[in-house]
Structure 1
Amino acid sequence: MSLGQSLFIIAALIAVSAFFSVAEISLAASRRLRLRQMADAGDPRAERVLRMQDQPGPYFTVVQIGLNAIAILGGVVGEGALSPYFSQLMGLLVDEPLAGRLGFAASFVAVISLFIVLADLLPKRLGMSAPERAAVRLVGTMEALLRVLGPLVWLFGRATDALFKALGLPAQRDERITSADILAMTEAGARSGQLAEREHEVIANVFELDTRVVTSAMTPREHIAWFQKDDPEATLRARILAEPFSTYPVCAGDLDQLLGYVDAKDLFQRVLNNQPLSPLDEGLLHKVLVVPDRLSLAEVLEQFRQAHEDFAVIVNEYSFVVGVITLNDVMSTVMGGLVDPQDEDWIVQRDAHSWLIDGMTPMADVQRTLDLASLPHEGQYETLAGFLMEMLRRVPKRTDTVQWEGFRFEVIDVDRYRIDQVLVTRHPVDDRPPPSLA
């Protein structure tokens, strides 16, 4: 066999090996969601690739048969074709016996290098750049090879299945997509610029609805504007002017004795029609939705849907009212940074290293703003005030401080045991004290 014929055979083997490399990486890297989109758009080849992914064993058996057979043939042909020429070249430098050994080694390295670069690295990089497109183009040829090599595929497949069973390994890959998978994909999309950072934030906030407790987004008890059942019209008007909200609970005596709620729109219509205002007037008082304080925001949304309401009163295990929540409060949690700063001013950044934060701010928002990797005793509190109480093990006073993860939390203002303002300062990287209490 001449040198030209040998090189032609080596080139053909490299091309076939490259085909199997692309076939292997394209099936493994193809995204099922993208393939499903292609199948729904009318490409039947995508449906066939999806079936291959459901049962990938025979497919990869054909790939490995092809790759290993070609590797052996390539070594045999390459050594026989190139060794004499490399031996002659080495004979110019060293003695004959050593030249033969060096020629064989050089031909081996040359053939291996060609196969690594041209039959493995290059085709796999090409396949990774557009795996779905490559997979649908090669699926027909791979199906034909599956039929031709059926007996060998069956034999190797049974042997492999027996090994999997003996070792207790799963034979099928888990195709379930979790919320963590979706968040990872959206984060990758945000980093690549395909997804806006704010869109990624909204998607992340949606998945937080299952973990955030309703108290993290509520209006706390001390900020609730409510009516007594026998309040005169002048008192109602004054309270609406002083505290303009969309909904007002109506109570008998105190806030824990709920009778229902009135909608500001109904009151506004009565004012326009020159009708008197009274919380107990027919058509004004609505039955209030009451939810426990341990529900998640996702569960509250479901309660809103079932009750056809957008307002709820939150009570604790002792049936005391701890706050109220509206559908807008939940959606503001989802929208996160998209909310108008005038409506969401619990966290105010003073400069690059300090923030002024309301004590009732949900700790999830504080953690996101400060980019804290972890929190101590997670699950024991919902707000920044709860975090400080947990760390201090008492009700904080003015000037109390807590150190955590390079941040200093200092209580600035306390109103009747309620933590109003906390100054958070980031320490320089080289001057971070260990976590401690002061």
Structure 2
Amino acid sequence: MDLTTSILLSAALILASAFFSIAEISLAAARRLRLRQMADDGDLRAARVIAMQEQPGHYFTVVQIGLNAIAILGGIVGEGMLTPHYARLLELIVTPQLAAQLGFVASFMSVTAFFILFADLFPKRLGMLQPEALAVRVVGPMQVCVTLLKPVVWAFNVITDAVFKFFGVSVLRDERITSDDILAMTEAGRQAGAVAVQEQEVIENVFELETRTVASSMTPRDRIVFFCLDDDDAEVRGRIAAEPHSTYLVCGRDIDDVVGYVDAKDLLTRVLTQQPISLKTEGLLHKVLIIPDRLTLAEVLEQFRLAHEDFAVIVNEYSLVVGVITLNDVMSTVMGGLVSPLIEEQIVQRDDKSWLIDGVTPIPDVLRAIGLDELPHQEEYATLAGFLMVMLRRIPKRTDTVSWGGYRFEVMDVDSFKIDQVMVTKLDPSSESFTA
């Protein structure tokens, strides 16, 4: 076989191997959601790729048969293609016997390098960059190959399925998409510029509704503005003027004796019609939704939906009021700084390595701001103040510090046992994991 024929045959083998490499990697890397979108737009080839992904056994068997057969043929052709030419060149400086041996090695390395570069690395990288586009192009020829090699494919698949069964491994591809998968996709989209930072934040917040407790978004007990049932007209008007809200809790003897709530718009209507305000007026009070403090925000949304309410009182296991929450509070948690820029004031970044954070800031917001994945015993608290109490095992005092995960949390201000501000500072990697 002359040199020209050998080169043409090797080039054909490289192209065939590149085809099978692209077919293999593109099917594995093709995103099912993107393929489904292409199929919905009328691309029948995308539907065939999806079918192949669901039952990829025959497809990959053909790929491996093709790749291994081509590798063997490439070795046979390449062994004699360049060896004589390398040997003649090397005979100028070494003995003929040594030149023949070195020529074989040089020929083997040259052919192998061409196969690695053009039959493996380049096509596989191309398949990773454009998996869906290439998968729909090769699926037709691959189906022809599957049909032609059906007897051989069947035999290999029977043996492979037997091996899988012996080891208890499922042969079906798991197509379930988890929240982690979606978050990883949005992170990749943000890095690529396809998803805005604010959009990614909203998506993350939506999934956090399943893990955030109601305490992370509620108005705590000490900040609740409420009326007593016996408050007269002047007291109600004065409190509304001093602390305007859309909804007010109404209690009996104290805040734990909840009797209902009143809408500010109903009070405004009475003011505009020059009617006296009495909280005992029939129809003015609404029955309040009571929920436990262990619910997640997703469960709170479901409670609002079932009760057709947008305001709820949160109680602990002792039936004491710990806070109130509205539908707007939950939505503000989802939208973050997009609609509630004042929330961002809870976390003020002073420089690249320090943050001044309000003690009532929810833990997910703290983690996102400083770049930590988690904090210890995270199921035991909902806010930064709770973290410090759990770690110190007492009520923190001013200048108390906790170091964890390369960060120091220092209590800067305490008001009547309430942690107002905490300074979070990034430490050197050599710092201890925990100190108090």
- 1:402 alignment partner AA: V
- 2:159 alignment partner AA: A
CA contact (8 A) 2:406 2:429 kept: no
CA contact (8 A) 2:357 2:424 kept: no
CA contact (8 A) 2:412 2:423 kept: no
Render the CA deviation track for 1:185-221: whole Å, top value 9, x for unaligned: 1111111111111111111111111111101111011
Q: Judging changes above 3 Å, is the alpha-carbon distance between structure 1 residues 382 and 342 closer, same or farther for their aligned structure 2 residues? A: closer
Unaligned runs of 5+ in 2: none
- 2:421 alignment partner AA: V
CA contact (8 A) 2:403 2:409 kept: yes
Distance 2:350 2:70 in 1: 66
SS in 1 for 2:341: coil
2:104 is aligned with 1:100: no
Match of 2:342 in 1: 342
Match of 2:261 in 1: 261
CA contact (8 A) 1:401 1:409 kept: yes
SS in 2 for 1:92: coil
Match of 1:426 in 2: 425
Worse-superposed segment, 308-317 or 381-390: 381-390
Match of 2:319 in 1: 319
- 2:428 alignment partner AA: V
Distance 1:59 1:431 in 2: 52
2:153 is aligned with 1:149: no
SS in 2 for 1:211: coil
SS in 1 for 2:379: coil
Distance 1:348 1:114 in 2: 57
SS in 1 for 2:380: coil
- 2:359 alignment partner AA: G
Worse-superposed segment, 6-15 or 295-304: 6-15
Distance 1:219 1:172 in 2: 49
Distance 2:249 2:395 in 1: 30
2:290 is aligned with 1:290: yes
CA contact (8 A) 2:346 2:358 kept: yes
Give how far 1:7 is off: 1.4
Worse-superposed segment, 318-327 or 374-383: 374-383
Give how far 1:5 is off: 1.5
Distance 2:262 2:104 in 1: 93
CA contact (8 A) 1:250 1:261 kept: yes
Match of 2:435 in 1: 436
Distance 1:232 1:191 in 2: 58
Distance 1:347 1:372 in 2: 15
Distance 2:173 2:356 in 1: 48
Q: How large is the Cα RMSD of the aligned pairs?
A: 1.7
SS in 2 for 1:379: helix
Worse-superposed segment, 299-308 or 343-352: 343-352
Worse-superposed segment, 353-362 or 120-129: 353-362
Match of 1:398 in 2: 398
Q: Judging changes above 3 Å, is the alpha-carbon distance between structure 1 residues 238 and 343 closer, same or farther for their aligned structure 2 residues? A: farther
- 1:382 alignment partner AA: A
Distance 2:125 2:199 in 1: 30
Distance 2:416 2:72 in 1: 83
2:387 is aligned with 1:387: yes
Instruction: Using structure 2 for the length normalisation, give the TM-score.
Output: 0.95
Instruction: Using structure 1 for the length normalisation, give the TM-score.
Output: 0.95
Unaligned runs of 5+ in 1: none
Give how far 1:172 is off: 2.1
Distance 1:95 1:5 in 2: 29
Give how far 1:353 is off: 4.0
CA contact (8 A) 1:405 1:434 kept: yes
- 2:292 alignment partner AA: P
CA contact (8 A) 2:336 2:343 kept: no
Distance 2:322 2:262 in 1: 19
Distance 1:205 1:310 in 2: 20
CA contact (8 A) 2:205 2:333 kept: yes
SS in 1 for 2:122: helix
Q: Percent identity, please.
A: 63
Give how far 1:431 is off: 7.5
Render the CA deviation track for 1:127-152: whole Å, top value 9, x for unaligned: 22211111111111111111110000
CA contact (8 A) 2:354 2:426 kept: no
Match of 2:67 in 1: 67
Worse-superposed segment, 90-99 or 55-64: 90-99
Match of 1:370 in 2: 370
Q: How many residues align?
A: 436
Give how far 1:240 is off: 0.6
Give how far 1:283 is off: 2.7
CA contact (8 A) 1:409 1:422 kept: no
Distance 2:290 2:153 in 1: 63
Q: Judging changes above 3 Å, is the alpha-carbon distance between structure 1 residues 62 and 435 closer, same or farther for their aligned structure 2 residues? A: same
Give how far 1:428 is off: 5.0
Give how far 1:432 is off: 4.0
Give how far 1:48 is off: 0.4
CA contact (8 A) 1:312 1:324 kept: yes
